[in-house]
Amino acid sequence: MFAAFIKMLKIKELRAKLLFTAGIIIIVRFAANITCPGVSPAALKEYVETLSTAGGSNQLMQMLDIFSGGALQNFAVATLGIMPYITASIIVQLLTPVIPSLEKLQREGDAGRQKISQYTRYLTLAVCAVQGAMAAMAMIDPSRLHMPAPTVPLVVGNHAMFIVMTVIVLTCATMVLTWLGEQITERGIGNGVSLIITINIIARLPHAIKMLIDMAISGQSGSNSFSLVKLLILLLIFVVVTAATIMLSQGMRRVPIQMVRKSVGSQIHGGTTYMPLKVNFAGVMPIIFASALLQIPPIAVGFLPYNKFTTFFARLFEYNSFSYMAIYGLMILAFSYFWVANQFNPIQISENLKKEGAYIPGIRPGSPTAEFLDHSMSRITFAGAIFLMALAIFPMVLSTNFGVPPLVAQFFGGTSLLIMVGVVLDTLTQLESHLTMRNYDGFLKNGRLRGRRGGMAG
């Protein structure tokens, strides 16, 4: 494996892609450490240090801080990160089957997808404006998010001007980060947007490791005792959960496809091949969709007047509560099927197989093949979605019932681990393809790395 990394640097094109990607990553990390104008860095640092890690709102803030790579606790220019773009993408994806004009654009190929991408960027501006204003008002008065009031004001100067300036700065930063992500996809290595999220998550990993070491030395985790044995058990759990995540990302059912034998020159093409049906076809998207949408209610309720309804609503979406976990799990299940319904077209696949003279043994071509693929994919998706739900909820259970700090627990499953595993596998797959194209050995001598999405007939 290490020899493969050395060989990558020998390939001029690949070396240029890696350096380009690394340069953008450095820019992204700089943006996560530059505090927004109008905020007192000293007061903000003091306030962050005094925050308790036990409260539900603070746990939610820590989860959001992981996605921003620490930008949230610095209230940096990259505080919103690229989550507004992901939220806008979710909304557009949900509206596409409902609005005929969007559905028509989706069927028009690359031109239509570019138009939808343009609409997504416009919607991202609106989402940034709303989230930026809410973030600015929360900095002025943190009690809006049910958090303790700071002893020293965090914002200096005129509050109205601060809100306007913050919305502009955060919106511009999000759009620049989104553009940088697209540049990585086009000119670098890996999926840019996913890679930026992954880098932000990994940036919080050293802090989580330090917390684990401090807990092991002090023997305390909040109000609970923490021994070296518990640390070893946590490390074992991390290995098991990581292995299970890789299995989920790589797992598939191979459907046999019989191809009609054809002679092309002196070569004969055809025979038996396989169509991979991924267990987790949607990858990390359902968990990102659910996480992004569940960020909105707890934050929005803080800006509403207190009454019986808002109190009930706040408790319903209180982070780590049973109701939050239940809603989170159901949304992951729903988004898993939604993604498959939008991206996996059994009718189109069956038609393509029929045109190519291919068929599934024991299944008639045409509608029976489409029904078989639809039924098989539905059952596989259900198993994958249940596994995905368990993986997403496990860090909350670990934090709530075993006293593990939320920042540490996030690396034992959920969005953080799944994104890291999925993106690393995808990136390694791209790197391996570059190596094998130039007759170099890949990262594995036996077998091949597979991305989160397998090949599909048609």
The pLDDT tens digits for 66-85 are: 767 777 778 889 888 888 88
Q: Classify burial at 133, counting beta carbons within 10 Å of its beta carbon; exposed 0-12, middle 13-18, buried 19 or more.
A: middle
CA distances from 102 to 2, 98, 108, 291 (A): 47, 8, 10, 25
Name the DSSP letter for residue 257: E
Query: What's residue 198's pLDDT?
Result: 85
- Which secondary structure element, helix H or strand E, spans residue 274, and what is its range? strand 267-278
Query: What's residue 148's pLDDT?
Result: 73
Of 106-110, 201-205, 412-416, give the range with the top mean pLDDT.
Answer: 201-205
Q: Where does residue 146 fall: left (phi above 0), alpha (psi -120 to 50 degrees), or beta otherwise?
A: left
Domain segments of the chain as ranges: 14-203, 237-458
Q: Classify burial at 296, counting beta carbons within 10 Å of its beta carbon; exposed 0-12, middle 13-18, buried 19 or more.
A: middle
Structure tokens at 154: 């965090």
SS3 content of the chain, % helix, strand, coil (to 5): 70, 5, 25
Mark out the alpha helices in 344-366 (DSSP H runs): 346-355
CA distances from 355 to 180, 253, 276, 352 (A): 41, 23, 19, 5
Query: What's residue 251's pLDDT?
Result: 85
Q: Please state which CATH number belongs to domain 14-203.
A: 1.10.3370.10
- Which secondary structure element, helix H or strand E, spans residue 91, and what is its range? helix 83-95
Tell me the C-alpha distance between 173 and 150, whole Å: 27
**Which positions ≥6 away from 195 have C-beta within 8 Å?**
21, 25, 181, 184, 423, 427
Phi, psi of 442 (to 5 degrees): -85, -160
- Provide mean pLDDT across the span 22-46: 88
Query: What's residue 174's pLDDT?
Result: 93
- The per-residue pLDDT for range 338-394, each reduced to its tens digit, is 888 878 888 888 888 888 888 888 888 888 888 999 999 999 999 989 988 888 888
Q: Class assignment of domain 237-458?
A: mainly alpha
**Alpha-carbon torsion, ordered 252, 258, 259, 261, to 10 deg:** 140
Q: Where is average pLDDT lowest: 49-53, 251-255, 287-291, 400-404?
A: 49-53
Selected residue with higher pLDDT from 255 and 2: 255
Tell me the sheet residues that pair with 227.
none
- Which secondary structure element, helix H or strand E, spans residue 176, and what is its range? helix 159-187
Asked if domains 14-203 and 237-458 share a fold, the reply is: yes
- Provide mean pLDDT across the span 272-288: 83
- The per-residue pLDDT for range 364-376, each reduced to its tens digit, is 888 888 899 999 9
